Structure 1
């Protein structure tokens, strides 16, 4: 005869015995576990309940999914939430051309350039930052500050270089652990977490960095499939009230147009020279297929031709590239 037992409710577990330590010694143990509020229904357990809580970093945890690798060029808009304040910044990054641009509303020390919206273009080929008033067109040229978020000191504090894309997202010098998936801004996201002791300066107390990336089923609907993925949010907690939330919008890893770094307002017509050259052959189909790629290729060729040894011609010195056929312009 078959007998069906009713669901049993555990109330206590008594575990005792002897454990062997790493050094070979034996240690007796005696543990008592009390159970309460037990739910035997599987639908009562959500995947998120089995993950590490938000903001908790476990240094000895094993990473189960590789962190995405950023591309060498991208642009996006970021919303920064700190306490009761919200600020926005639009950023352009091109490691291959040594250029960074960001648009922002000045606060604090940045108001020395005015209180209207500003654009900064950093030319790491020359070490010069161009600060442009977006409404008035005023331009100030100044050395790139060694404290910028896009800057790394090269050999000494007076020489700077552009960050790599990994350094830009603070993926360097840190071991990120995959936490699982969470919903943020209504988007299913993969989450990685790490801990550093070099922010805002080397030797600082530990800060926790949490990155959220949209899951593949979210990005598969996009016309432009990103190789890096779509970053959605970054949460930085450095303790002592230093808690920042970076919401990232309109992330695009396609190379920003070279004209995005226009500094023509910083030079008058007497400081400009026009020149032209002619290429024999018929390249109409090739060029008309993607004019932006053609211009970028011409730009890279001019930079290579104008660079000597370690002195690289700045891409900002070349502007307004146009192409014409011998009979019809395009």
Structure 2
């Protein structure tokens, strides 16, 4: 199973038969070559290869009738798209369509990628009896807590694993596992024996390997999107520019070029220890709060215990 984290540009390749994992940069699945633009997560229109010039017109009529009650809506089984300009006709068939909201919180399991020393289990206790509410809204609360932890600790949500919620007549309990951050080198694609023609924004001396150079680039105060590592010269040359398609790279017998996988702003992740301390401080100072609305007049606010 290959899991892509588009918050960082990291791919987790998990082998469930051997229960091991490789952490590598996300590759461009459409080309898988060594010269590609920074990638991004496709939006729904891009999944169907549509652009802003397309507009929906008409109605869905390929549906199947449910036999589980009159209150259940029909489910789509086919989508047809006709392009009168090009004469092309696209047909998409849907199989095993499920109208339920998917539980994606524990669907992307990457715990095999980290050792026990790279994981921290935790529990947050919210006081009060909310059993009536949680019976129907457990997943919503679980998702909101994960997103709140991600926001407060600046962690990618995928680093919050094995989450669950249970409750009794006095409290609600949220359990989870925090994971360490992926190696910085996994956020960059490598061009071996090549260097870029950029004007370097910063050059660091005394660097002999790509791992150290990638970490320095990833945690740079400004934005660092690419670097040249020259172990023999012990230099790490950083640049704000990417390596897009068509950019000429010069041959080098002693240097390698690396470019960030993702486009857009750079998130400076923190490590496991700092993430746990940050979360703990928010909890102990009553700074961790989650609000869920059932309706405009009825809502629940969850505060942590002191």
TM norm structure 2: 0.43
TM norm structure 1: 0.40
Larger RCO, structures 1/2 (Cα 8 Å, 6+ apart):
2
Larger radius of gyration: 1
